[in-house]
Amino acid sequence: MQSRTRIRLIEPADAVPIAAHRARDIDAEAFRRYEPAQPPEFFTADGQLERIHRLLDGHRAGTAWPCVVLDQDGQVIGQITVTGILPQPHVRRASLGYWIATTAEGQGHAGRAVALALALMTDELGLHRVEAGTHLENIASQRVLRRNGFTPYGVAHSSIHLDGRWHDGLLWERILGD
């Protein structure tokens, strides 16, 4: 059976659907609890286009691999990004972040997108280690990471400012190719 979820390198044309998802979802309680405050232009196509250009600059520099998550119809439903890529032989690691639009939650897209990103990091980027972080209360994201072989390894105290106060984060790791 073919997966219903795909990932591909982000493109400037993705600014419109990403902005639409972000603008709609920022009012959703689930997003507001886990997303830092952003300026109004972040939720516009122009703001996302500017962000996409920065991400693609990182991709050209070899420090990032920004992808969109696509559903079975090829529609953009989220994003998964490998950042902080350190490809040196003695390190070979990166960080992983992702989000799925509220309209596509609960359908397994996040788990499949993480699995696809792990394959990309192993097979194409030759990385050895990947790290991720979650809000302590984001149980759904923790389930996604755990199902993809991540294990928690620590707490980052007061690591992210959300909804007017500092919150702790749970740190996750996975060794690739073992």
**CA gap 134, 141 in Å, rounded:** 7
**pTM of the full structure:** 0.92
Find the helix packing angle between 45-61 and 15-25, rounded to 10°: 120
pLDDT tens-digit readout, 47-61: 999 999 999 999 999
pLDDT tens-digit readout, 73-105: 999 999 999 999 987 777 899 999 999 999 999
- CATH architecture, domain defined by 6-175: 3-Layer(aba) Sandwich (3.40)
Percent of the chain with pLDDT over 70: 94
Confidence of residue 153 (pLDDT cuts 50, 70, 90): very high
**CA gap 56, 115 in Å, rounded:** 22
H/E stretch holding 8:
strand 6-9
**CA gap 168, 120 in Å, rounded:** 29
What's the burial of 40, exposed, middle or buried (CB within 10 Å: 0-12/13-18/19+)?
exposed
